[in-house]
Amino acid sequence: LGKRLTSAVSNLTHSNVVDEKAFDAMIKEICSALIESDVNVKLVANLRKSIKSAVNLKELGPGVNRKRLIQKTVFDELVKLVDPHNEPFKPKKGRTNVIMFVGLQGSGKTTSCTKLARYYQARGFKACLVCADTFRAGAFDQLKQNATKAKIPYYGSYTETDPVKVSRDGVEKFKKERFDIIIVDTSGRHQQEKELFAEMMQIQQAVKPDQTIMVLDASIGQAAEAQSKAFKESADFGAIIITKTDGHAAGGGAISAVAATRTPIVFIGTGEHMLDFERFAPQPFISKLLGMGDLGGLVEHVQSLKLDQKDTMKHIQEGIFTVRDLRDQLGNIMKMGPLSKMAGMIPGLSQMMGEVGDEEGTMKLKRMIYIMDSMTEKELDSDAKCFVDQPTRMTRVARGSGTSVREVEDVLTQHRMMAQMAKKVGKNMANLQKGGGLA
């Protein structure tokens, strides 16, 4: 999806005149790219209408930048598709919040359960896991292993075969122990089967979850709409987690699932590691889909300022982005100001900084740099995987920089996002050098 959408939008960028014909051709290309990547046909037809009515080329004055306007409209309409305007459930401290996971086998439930428990644990919630997957041999061992690694209390059974009993027992035990968040991992099947749905409904009745989350593999494609509707009918869920967004999947399925069920995506899985987990935000998601993250714009601007960028540029061309590269970039940004404008050019950074003034933003940026200054040379020149493998490194860095583990995590999230962009940009540059198009 990204590929064709990007080229549809950038073809327009490269053509000099934007007349009705060029505009129609672009819309056509975008729509067929969307359909090809499994976005529901009706949705695409609506999108087409809204783009057309939002941009009326004939009525635009000569001063209007048509390309910009069209790009922005396409972007906004796609954002609308993944934004259900429906607030997801927020767990409250001081009471027990039960969260239940549903989804097909292999979609990433067990992995995402642990990621979510760890996410809340890092934010001061007392979180734990219950394994109600008695269907698949080895399911409990897998959860146990994940939970142990992340130091999260867990409950399960090797002998009890009734998932309803296991989940009820587990939730009761942890409720008594006053956990804030109890996450129940359930089993899946390869296909949607009657038994699976019956089992889900029974578990739901037994544990009365405050939130049910459906886990969806990003590569689900065409089946996304039917699958999410089927789950919605029996185990009504209030949130979606999309996994494996780091893979080659087009992502059209995710859009269809949200639209079909009017349910918000809350997190996305971006890899197999515990920390490869991000809060979902519509705009960066679509940005990535379109390959429109403004890293290119940033690099251009930085070049024009003649800051020392050689290493980072070279790295990006090779698809590499080290922690040190992030440190250098942020350092440069501080020199360039005004911060609010610059932060907007780095994908995700403005979200992370929130709606803050330049002074507060500068403070946040400084803290990020302090954090990286507390890292070893080796860590700085690494791809940051060492922090995932040895989380105690984060504690050390937080202590050394007088910040919190959460802030260190934020820096690493920022780094990961930029490393992903660099990979993409690097690939594109390599392709261009070979004479090919954009990847």
By the criterion CB under 6 A, which residues form the site for ligand GDP?
103, 105-111, 188, 243-244, 246-247, 269-272, 276
Kindly write down the DSSP assignment for every residue of 336-392, as one continuous string. Answer: H--HHHHHTTSTTHHHHH-S--HHHHHHHHHHHHHHHHTS-HHHHTS-SHHHHH-TH
Q: How far is the CB of 277 from ligand GDP (least distance, A)?
A: 8
State which residue, 109 or 424, has the beta carbon closest to Mg ion.
109
Q: How far is the CB of 217 from ligand GDP (least distance, A)?
A: 8
Asked whether the beta carbons of 254 and 242 are under 8 A apart, the reply is: yes
Separation of alpha carbons 66 and 64, rounded Å: 6
Separation of alpha carbons 393 and 399, rounded Å: 10
At 287, the amino acid letter reads S
Which one of ligand GDP, Mg ion, none interacts with residue 243, CB within 5 to 8 A by kind? ligand GDP
Q: CA-CA-CA-CA torsion for 330, 333, 334, 339, nearest 10 degrees?
A: -120
Burial of 132 per CB tally in 10 Å (0-12, 13-18, 19+): buried
State which residue, 109 or 315, has the beta carbon closest to ligand GDP.
109
Q: How far is the CB of 115 from Mg ion (least distance, A)?
A: 13
Burial of 368 per CB tally in 10 Å (0-12, 13-18, 19+): buried
Which one of Mg ion, ligand GDP, none interacts with residue 269, CB within 5 to 8 A by kind? ligand GDP
State which residue, 167 or 243, has the beta carbon closest to ligand GDP.
243
State which residue, 104 or 372, has the beta carbon closest to ligand GDP.
104
Q: How far is the CB of 244 from ligand GDP (least distance, A)?
A: 4
- Residue with the closest Cβ to ligand GDP? 269
State which residue, 111 or 167, has the beta carbon closest to ligand GDP.
111
Which one of ligand GDP, Mg ion, none interacts with residue 272, CB within 5 to 8 A by kind? ligand GDP
3 state DSSP class of 78: helix
Q: How far is the CB of 66 from ligand GDP (least distance, A)?
A: 38
Q: How far is the CB of 15 from ligand GDP (least distance, A)?
A: 37
First to last CA, the chain: 11
Chain residues binding Mg ion by CB under 5 A are 109-110
3 state DSSP class of 411: helix
Which one of ligand GDP, Mg ion, none interacts with residue 84, CB within 5 to 8 A by kind? none
State which residue, 272 or 311, has the beta carbon closest to ligand GDP.
272
Which one of ligand GDP, Mg ion, none interacts with residue 105, CB within 5 to 8 A by kind? ligand GDP
